[in-house]
Amino acid sequence: MDWANTKLPEPEDFPESSTAPGLRALDNALRCTICKELFSGPVSLRCGHSFCSQCIRQALSAKQECPTCRKGHETEVQIRVNMDLEEAVLAWTAARSHVLELIEKANSASSTRHPPLPPKKRKRSEPVEDDEIVELSSETSPPRSSPPADATLCPMCNKPASEAEINRHLDSGCPAAVQPSNKKGSSSKDEWSKLMSGRTKSLAKGKGRATDSDDEPSPLPKVSYDTLKDRQIKELLSEQGLPTTGDRQLLIKRHQQWVIMYNSNLDKKVTVRTTQAKLKADLARWLEKHAMSAKPVVEDVQAHQRKYGKEFAALTASARPKAKA
């Protein structure tokens, strides 16, 4: 079976608690109960249970209760970003392969007693490392390792700022954003997006979440598609730069999923957020898997019948005797 070759990282990569107390439990505790991955953009519900932002948004859109304890009437509005948990997960992600390596080393050092063990361990942990390294280098490390050469931290608010800017920043009482170039570039866009979202009533909601800065993008509002015409849904999609092809059902699904993905991306720390382009690619892949796999439409019925008639007859014939027995 080929899935056996692609060993995915899981808590059981770590030895039992008798040999390495807490490690397996730690890895397990930092995993989302819905996707079983290390938390990505963790958020908490009122009951205190945490999930990946995207997982819980998806789950709540099907059923408004906590998946773990079933406490009811949870909606996306009640989701709170769990920043400290996110920090813990990012740190553990960085430490994980290192810890596994240390365990492996310790094992091979004491392998005189159990010679067959170490090779097995190595087999288990190697793909894990590869996985983590790829993920890390593409997501977490570049933003951290590439501040401008003259970068320093503001002593008051701890935000990175260039040395040239730091005095002005301090004098003006630590405004949150210390990247003037960024602000200038996006201000007109901001203006626009405010106008746009103002039209759809949710700006107030978004403001509550956007914590510290003006150019923090606000989450997209949920839309009640039933009240909209196809044309209006297409407008919503093109506002987001998304394709407007397909039937009404697909349009709705595309926008719905986009809102979930977009908003959950905002729940992540700025440095680990995905780019819009990548997010759109993810959306396309998701739709291919979920929406498109709905029944294919048969256009030429007669040709279809000719093509599959024999197979259909054979299938009915083979099913009949079974049904009688």
Binding-site size for other proteins (CB under 8 A) equals: 26
Stretch that binds other proteins, among 56-64, 180-188, 245-253, 261-269 (CB under 8 A): 56-64
165 binds other proteins (CB under 8 A): no
- Per CB under 8 A, contacts with other proteins among 19-38 are 33-37
Nearer to other proteins, 45 or 236 (CB): 45
Q: How far is the CB of 117 from other proteins (least distance, A)?
A: 16
- 188 near other proteins (CB under 8 A): no
Could you say whether residue 2 binds other proteins (CB under 8 A)?
yes
The CB density around residue 319, as the number of other CB atoms within 10 Å, is 9
12 counts as binding other proteins under rule CB under 8 A: yes
Is residue 146 part of the contact set for other proteins (CB under 8 A)? Answer: no
Q: Is 45 in the site for other proteins (CB under 8 A)?
A: no
Burial (0-12, 13-18, 19+ Cβ within 10 Å), 18 = exposed
- Of 4 and 297, which has the nearer Cβ to other proteins? 4
Nearest partner of 283 among 317, 311, 246, judged by Cα:
246
Query: Which one of 28, 44, 65, 165 is in contact with other proteins (CB under 8 A)?
Result: 65
Q: Within the chain, how many helices (H) and strands (E) appear?
A: 12, 5
- CA 297 – CA 309 distance, rounded (Å): 17
Q: Does 55 bind other proteins (CB under 8 A)?
A: yes
- Length of the chain in terms of residues written: 325
DSSP code per residue over 200-234 = TT-HHHHHHH--S-TTSPPPPPP--GGGS-HHHHH
Which residues have C-beta within 8 Å of that of residue 220, sequence separation ≥ 6?
A: 197, 202, 240, 258, 259, 262, 263
Q: Is 194 in the site for other proteins (CB under 8 A)?
A: no
- Which structure tokens are listed for 275? 């780019």
Question: Within 276-315, which residues bind other proteins (CB under 8 A)?
Answer: 289-290, 293
Q: What is the C-alpha end-to-end distance of the chain, expressed in Å?
A: 34
What would the x/- binding string for other proteins be over residues 67 to 106, using CB under 8 A? Answer: xx-x------------------------------------
Report if residue 126 touches other proteins, rule: CB under 8 A.
no
- Closer residue to other proteins in complex, CB, 210/291: 291
Among 3, 116, 201, 275, binds other proteins (CB under 8 A): 3
Q: DSSP letter string over 48-114?
A: S-EEEHHHHHHHHHH-SB-TTT--B---GGG-EE-HHHHHHHHHHHHHHHHHHHHHHHHHHHTTTT-
State which residue, 10 or 104, has the beta carbon closest to other proteins: 10
CB nearer to other proteins: give 199 or 290.
290
* Residues 284-314: b if buried by 16+ CB within 10 A, e if exposed: eebbeeebeeeeeeeeeeeeeeeeeeeeeee
Contact between 6 and other proteins per CB under 8 A: yes
Residues interacting with other proteins, by CB under 8 A? Answer: 1-4, 6-8, 10, 12, 33-37, 55, 58-59, 62-63, 65, 67-68, 70, 289-290, 293
